Structure 1
Amino acid sequence: MSPDVTSEKRALRAELRERRRTITAAERAASTQSVTANLIELTSGLGVKSIAAYLSTPDEPSTREFLHWACDSGIRVLLPISREDGLLDWAPYDGTDEDEDLLGMPTPTTEVLGPIAINSVDLIVVPAASVDRTGMRMGWGRGYFDKTLGSMERCPPVYAVIFDNEFVDSVPSEVHDQKVNGVVTPSGITALPSTQPNSAA
């Protein structure tokens, strides 16, 4: 791991976190409405019957309204639960109760299915700090999603949810970082030139 790249990522993540914290309530409400509509459009257009996604935290572009729509629409939703070994377990989400995992991230309270449950989904929706126009995703530094995507033999489309100003020309990357197939932002859905995310490793 290059110290220069690591430092660059750390500084960029700090800048992005601060930028997210300064978004006004009105801007956040507008982005939630737009992101929800775009996620519904993406999911409907792909005709998916099951998705792996995540419950957004207050500073992230909101996925919660979309996930409630998915549950109400009969789409099977799996959400991640962080493990101490760096892998993700998955559990079904019913749009109601939630808990916190070992990292303090919101998780469902249903039966834990284990890491391989994600292999059955039609679409993966992931968080990101930033994504560039080649599809390279920069996460928040824990590596859970990179490890998950890199281990999948047959990966469905993967879309990251970010704010518009986080979709950039390039991001610092390392060999383990995984690409995504597209991004969903408040302004729209953008398919990217990457093929399978795990082809970027």
Structure 2
Amino acid sequence: MTAHGLDAPGAADEAVRAAKSEVRSRVLAARRALAPEVRAARAEAIAAHAVALAAEFSGPICAYLPFGTEPGSPAMVEALVTAGHDVLLPVVPETEGPMDWARFSSTDDTAPTAIGIREPTGPRLGPQAITEAALVLVPALAVDRSGVRLGRGRGHYDRSLRLVSPTALLVAVIDDDELVPRLPAEPHDRPVDAVLMPTAGTVRLRNRS
């Protein structure tokens, strides 16, 4: 095999990572530029859509607490609990591996972490807890029409989403302009089945029949 042949896969991988980084920078800049009142209105709409979607499911729901400029707000998770759902939130492990999970009751029972997110302070349920969820809500920077999800690149969700039941609905929460025609993807990227957006609500992307 030629030197060029050996180098080609690495170069291709690097090109995909560079393309992802460019999209991340663009999306994060747009989120930072959003007026607070617009962000608040969108968060309220996302919470309402999340409750409407969750009404279709029984059993635990895996979700997360949006932070910073992420679409949504803690009110989304609180609304799910108020509607009677058993909500599990991720707990980022100290070592590489899938995330742990803990039950959410209120934001009063959470604590901040070193990376800025808040986590439940209750008993840890183990990484396998996600396998029991019929609905999984995840953060994303963008999603394309085939379900490719762009995260922040830390790999926490990539490792955890491998454990999601094949019958569960995996939904990324994004702004309306973050559903795009196509995104760069790598083999380990787990596609989502739908997106949840403030104006359009839930949009299914993949046939689950």
TM-score past 0.5 threshold: yes
Residues 140-165 of structure 1 show CA distances to partners (whole Å, capped at 9, x for unaligned) of 10111122112345451010000011
What percentage of residue pairs aligned between the two structures are identical?
33
The separation in 2 between residues aligned to 1:100 and 1:87, in whole angstroms, is 19
Which of 46, 64, 86 aligns to 1:35? It is 46
The amino acid that maps onto 2:198 is P
Which of 39, 53, 63 aligns to 1:53? It is 63
Note if 1:189 corresponds to 2:189: no
* Range moving further from structure 2, 186-195 or 111-120: 186-195
- Aligned residue in 1 for 2:141: 129
- Aligned residue in 2 for 1:176: 188
TM-score (norm 2): 0.87
The separation in 1 between residues aligned to 2:193 and 2:121, in whole angstroms, is 30
CA contact (8 A) 2:51 2:83 kept: no
Note the C-alpha offset of 1:97. Answer: 2.0
Note the C-alpha offset of 1:71. Answer: 1.4
Give structure 2 stretches of 5+ with no counterpart: 1-9
The amino acid that maps onto 1:107 is E
2:143 counterpart SS class: strand
The separation in 2 between residues aligned to 1:121 and 1:191, in whole angstroms, is 18
Name the CA shift for 1:26/1:152 in 2 (closer, same or farther; >3 Å). Answer: closer
The separation in 2 between residues aligned to 1:48 and 1:171, in whole angstroms, is 32
TM-score (norm 1): 0.91
Give structure 1 stretches of 5+ with no counterpart: 197-201
CA contact (8 A) 1:51 1:77 kept: yes
Kindly name which structure, 1 or 2, has the bigger radius of gyration based on alpha carbons: 2
The amino acid that maps onto 1:148 is S
What CA RMSD, in Å, does the superposition of the two structures yield over aligned residues? 1.7
How many equivalent pairs are there?
195
The amino acid that maps onto 2:29 is E
2:172 counterpart SS class: strand
The separation in 2 between residues aligned to 1:191 and 1:39, in whole angstroms, is 14
The amino acid that maps onto 2:193 is N
The separation in 1 between residues aligned to 2:175 and 2:92, in whole angstroms, is 24
CA contact (8 A) 2:140 2:152 kept: yes
The separation in 1 between residues aligned to 2:87 and 2:25, in whole angstroms, is 31
